[in-house]
Amino acid sequence: MKQLHVHNWFGSIDSSPYVVVQPDSVEDIIEIMQDHEKYPSPVRAVGSNHSTTPCGVAEGGTLVDMRKMNRIIEIRPDSVTAEAGALYIDVNQELQKHNLQFNVNVELGNLTIGSASCGGTKDASLPGEFGQVCSYASVIKMVTPSGELLEITEDQPELLHVARSSYGLFGIIYEVTFKVRPLQAMTVYHKSYTLDEFATQLPTLRTQGNSIMLYLNPFLDRVVVEFRRYHDTKKPQSLTSWQWKIRNYIWSTLSPFYAYCVTKYVPVVPIRDFLFDLFNRLIFIVCVLVIRGNNTLAIAQQIRYPAVATNSKYTFSIWAFQEEHYIDNLRAYFKFCKDYYRSTGYRSNMISVGYRINHDDSSMFSYSFRGTVMTFDPVSTGNPGWEAFLTAYNELCSSLGGVPLFNQTNLLTSEQVAHAFGDRIATFESYRKRFDPANRLLNGYFSNLFAAEKTVSDRTL
């Protein structure tokens, strides 16, 4: 049999499943779960395969591509139900026709409903709201490894809490209900600070009723903050999108393409650095002067990335830190980037980003489980040296007490995972084993990440 090769959207995670299957119906998923010969383990469901880690890899097993199950089933005044393979942006655009929107409008429109309900996501939290999509999942329906149908609702809060972090390890999700809200006008504007200015201002900025998203440049010592807040409008039809179109074009197309070209065609390092810095300064000016508005449409923040990545593709990583320690940790990150560049000659070729995300214990592996967090996330076109840089970045972030995301923080070690999540791994494992005692859905990635927990619990037996 010909060996299959599959990679994630960016192209950085390669794998060879035995079979790739696209179910059309719940019956198809039941058959996949029950027929071990035709569909060998591990069985892993994927959506758009945008994750930057091997969380969806089915090496030697069965990759279940959920994209064909993409129907929007019902829209109600306060919720929407859709099949797991539907794209977040498609559902959001349908909601807009009913003057509704999702609560969290992550920039990645290609996020699928199934992944959104059971994995890590981030967007800067608006006051009183969560920044993780799964926290708004109120009903999750899945097919378990035995082929049974399981419906988890808000009447089973403990189970919903773990299912929202289950990454396809309890079952294949085929349908999800998310809470939604009326369309609201969104104000957006940017301000530029030096790191010291930002450190002084942050305590005040946190109290001003805005969400806080950051563009970070350690080499220019700059922090540009994107502020957003909702306000009421009587005319949701008159909301503007042009600000987000410019932002989306810069972020998803122009910046990565520029970084790719400069990296590829400018071999002289000082000239290359000059071109990166010049571009980043210009982008910051455009953000502050142009990308601002009082009546913008929140869902216009979403980007529909091309199905097949082009030379404008980029990748990133992320760790979250308790906000009371953020400035010290951000200083450590700026210093780390500069020291790393001096000692190895590597710098990431795009600006880093960061998010402020409210305290949220709605899911087991929430990275803001213990309190409000802020992140610093390097971004790159994957220029040579990126993976070694990520390994060092992981070491730094783990030593600073950070928390990673299993689908967005690559090259984690089991020790770093145990350090970040502690007892929550053992609790999660006890649930997982209830649904999947034979490890039909467990791939090498999760098995390795949870290994340190096993060693600890084996020792304590």
Which positions lie near ligand FAD, rule CB under 6 A?
9-10, 44-51, 55-56, 66, 84, 106-108, 111-112, 114-115, 118-119, 121-122, 167-168, 172-173, 305, 314, 407-408
Between 106 and 327, CB nearer to ligand FAD: 106
**Which is nearer to ligand FAD, 122 or 247 (by Cβ)?**
122
Burial class of residue 458 in the structure, from the number of CB atoms within 10 Å of its CB (0-12 exposed, 13-18 middle, 19+ buried): exposed
Encode 399-429: b = buried (16+ Cβ within 10 Å), e = exposed.
ebebbbbbbbbbbbbbebbbbbbeebbbbbb
CA distance 158 to 318: 27
Q: Taking the mean position of all CA atoms in its chain, how far away is CA 28?
A: 28
Extract the tokens encoding 421: 């999540």
d(CA 48, CA 54): 13
Cβ–Cβ < 8 Å for 333, 218:
yes
At its nearest, how many Å lie between ligand FAD and the CB of residue 205? Answer: 21
Closest CA relative to residue 266, chosen from 361, 182, 383: 383
**Among residues 327 and 394, whose Cβ is nearest to ligand FAD?**
394
* Residue closer to ligand FAD (CB basis): 195 or 317: 317
CB of 312 to ligand FAD, least distance (A): 10
- Considering the complex, state which of residue 111 and residue 262 has its C-beta at the smaller distance from ligand FAD: 111
Rounded Cα distance, 430 and 440, in Å:
15
**How many angstroms separate the CA atoms of 439 and 197, rounded?**
51
Paired with 354 in beta bridges are 214
Query: CA separation (Å) from 288 to 107, 200, 292?
Result: 19, 20, 7
Beta carbon of residue 431, minimum distance to ligand FAD (angstroms, whole number): 15
CB of residue 55 to ligand FAD, shortest distance in Å: 3
Q: How far apart are CA 86 and CA 418, in angstroms?
A: 33
- Name which of 77 and 306 has its Cβ closer to ligand FAD: 306
- Whose CA is closest to 297, among 226, 225, 210, 237? 237
Nearer to ligand FAD, 126 or 173 (CB): 173
Q: Using CA atoms, how far apart are residues 228 and 226, in angstroms rounded to an integer?
A: 7
Nearer Cβ to ligand FAD (398/408): 408
> Element (H or E) spanning 461, and its range?
none
**Please, which residue, 195 or 291, has the CB nearer to ligand FAD?**
291
DSSP state of 450: T
Which CB atom, from 43 or from 195, has the smaller least distance to ligand FAD? 43
Nearer to ligand FAD, 10 or 279 (CB): 10
Residues 274 and 235: their CA atoms lie apart, in Å, by 46
Quick one: 122 or 347, whose CB is closer to ligand FAD?
122
Cα angle for residues 177, 163, 179 (degrees, 5° grid): 25
Give the three-state DSSP class for 102: strand
Exposed, middle or buried: residue 18 (CB in 10 Å: 0-12, 13-18, 19+)?
middle
- Least CB distance from residue 392 to ligand FAD, whole Å? 22
Residue that has been written with the tokens 């927990």 in this structure: 453
CA-wise closest residue to 437 among 144, 148, 19: 144
Sign of the dihedral through C-alpha 293, 381, 87, 177: negative
| Least distance between ligand FAD and beta carbon 139 (Å) | 14
Reduced to 3 states, what is the DSSP secondary structure of residue 30? helix
Alpha helices by DSSP H, listed for 229-289, are: 242-249, 255-265, 269-289
